[in-house]
Amino acid sequence: MGNVLEKDRPATVAPKATDTAWEHGSVDFYCDDRKYGFLKRDVGGVDVFVHWRTLKRNGIQEHQMTDGRKIMFKAAATGRRPEAVELKLK
């Protein structure tokens, strides 16, 4: 059937972080208009994608995602880059 785009994924289906440790990082960029952003890992490496649905599932409001804000997250492999599936603001 081909790849399912993020916008086509039902809101109730979330990628799973299977036995992943909590990582520390910060908000690199978040765009309220486009409803997504990226987290920068403290240890370096590939930035982690974050979608507004993940924020909502974790009780975080978009206005809290300011550049440089410290955050803890769990990421799962979902396609081109890792995606945050659990979040905690520091």
Whether the model clears a pTM of 0.85, i.e. scores above it, the answer is: no
Q: Tokens standing for 87?
A: 């979040």
Q: What are the angstrom distances between the C-alpha of 37 and each of 1, 2, 14, 19, 67?
A: 27, 25, 17, 24, 10
- 8-64, pLDDT tens digit by residue? 555 445 556 556 899 999 999 999 999 999 999 999 999 999 999 999 999 999 999
DSSP letter (8 states) at residue 65: -
From the number of C-beta atoms within 10 Å of its C-beta (0-12, 13-18, 19+), residue 59 rates as exposed
Amino acid making up residue 70: K
Amino acid making up residue 15: P
